[in-house]
Chains A and B, each alone.
Chain A
């Protein structure tokens, strides 16, 4: 058996040698291009294969580190409607918190960028809120706001809003002074200055903050579900570990990562469709 496989390359070798050099280089470049294109997927598959093999070779029990195949099996063992219920619960809270964060952060950023007084008084407070570990405060928020979606949305909001405020303020303030002076010399009003000059300048900053915040929104929703919830992927993970079903908990994690990635891509897509000029030329 091993003889035949060893012999196979030897028989093909003279053929490649005999072939003209130009097509060989062509094959080489297509192979490289192919590798370049699929390298991320291949690396991912290789990592999974190593993981799977390690759990078999070292006989790692599923309660310490489940094999990828065990995680997939646990994921499939949970009915689709159960998954959908949890996904919807988490996604709803994450999106509500995210949208609330955008609705509050952008006007707040405009206010901070336009008034030195506001900036001096509000900014330190925002930093204090951001420096407070939300995970530690979450139980208190739940007690104060009761057991509904409200505390979960508030927790998500608190985790999400800060990067949006900071990035938008940075963007608003990075508008070139000449442009502002020009607009003033043309008697553009304050609102025109903000709407037509400063905000467009802030868009790339805003979009990158929105991208970061998608993953933060999912984290916020999960933190809230750890503290108080009957549904959602955070609840599912906590529930699975309470029964020591570690592969199921990992399956929940995989779904969470997928949601984060999907939201991240969605913001990218929205940027491409709505404000393509904010992208670098190579990515348009």
Chain B
């Protein structure tokens, strides 16, 4: 009797699974990276290529945004479901318009902003920039914190001659000696090596995190609508993304190759270098202390304080806790 019952149960269950299969079509997710495809953005490509998202029942399409604030806007309007961007951009947008987007996972637990200069330029530390001509991208998120970082290090921002240019002009200007330094994320360094090397110069990178600029950088953003309507999808995505990150850190070359397979214009060697340069931003004392992806309340507050000071916003304009949702990363 029990044997028969078991057999019926098994039969019923297999039938349910069979019937259930068509209904379990892959969940579509549009994922937007914050800038054009490059080595430091290889993680989602590796996740797609290795089938990590597919294993969670997700069909992920990757789109390239045009800056962190573009990603926040696209998520807010529903043009994309999940994306990456600098946390500062989200905090600023939250404070100003209360955009319905939240950060769910901290990718960079150190700030990626840095001074790029060349050997022999006379700049060996942050204080040397006083009186020098420096170029930055017109819409770079770094521009917001820059004067504060200078002031925190006892440098008058007015003493630095700033030039705002197109991002594509930064490396040529540095290589040609039109400026003595540029402001970039450390992850772009490998791409600078072409022009700087052609000019027979050697690139020097001075990360702002060495000068007291703390806070969360690149993070995963999700629209509040997505968190409300498809929380399970967000959870699965974060799980697969975290796994892809671990795989990429263990094998940066595989990550670069996965990127190349989906974006054929990529140069694997440069992409690998770019990804390797982003590893210290992800694996560091903060990530070891708090765990992967976690937002520590104190560091989150520090991140907001930098933004508030830079934007001249009152500190109580935003409770930074309202900009994050920690449930998805659990």
Chain A contacts to B: CB under 8 angstroms: 61-64, 78-79, 81-82, 139, 142-144, 146-147, 227-228, 230, 236, 238-246, 248-249
Contact = CB atoms under 8 A, between A and B. Distances in A.
Contact of A241 (B66, B168, B264): B168
Given A61-B198, A79-B264, A239-B37, A244 B176 contact: no
B264 A147 contact: no
A139 B66 CA distance: 10
B77 A143 contact: yes
A227 B65 CA distance: 8
A243 B171 CA distance: 9
Contacts of B199: 61, 63
B175 interface: yes
A79 B192 CA distance: 24
Given A61-B176, A61-B195, A61-B198, A244 B265 contact: no
Nearest to B73: A143
B265 A64 contact: no
A147 B78 CA distance: 10
Contacts of B30: 147
A227 B270 contact: no
Given A63-B176, A236-B265, A230 B191 contact: no
- Nearest 4 Cβ contacts at the A-B interface: A241-B168, A63-B195, A63-B172, A244-B171
B308 to A, nearest CB: 26
B38 A143 contact: no
Most buried by B among A63, A139, A147, A243: A243
Contact of B265 (A63, A78, A146): A78
Contacts of B325: none
A244 B191 contact: yes
A220 to B, nearest CB: 18
Interface residues of B, number: 34
Nearest to A81: B264
A243 B191 contact: yes
Interface of B: 30, 35-38, 62-66, 70, 73-74, 77-80, 166-168, 171-172, 175-176, 191-192, 194-195, 198-199, 264-265, 267, 270
A236 B168 CA distance: 13
A237 B8 CA distance: 63
Contacts of B198: 61-63
A165 to B, nearest CB: 31
A239 B270 CA distance: 14
A63 B167 contact: no
Nearest to B166: A241
A62 B167 CA distance: 17
A61 B175 contact: yes
Nearest to A79: B264
Nearest to B195: A63
A198 B38 CA distance: 56
Contacts of B79: 142-143, 146-147
B264 A244 contact: no
A65 B307 CA distance: 39
A143 B74 contact: yes
A266 B59 CA distance: 41
A64 B172 contact: yes
Nearest to A140: B73
A243 B270 contact: yes
A150 to B, nearest CB: 11
A193 B45 CA distance: 61
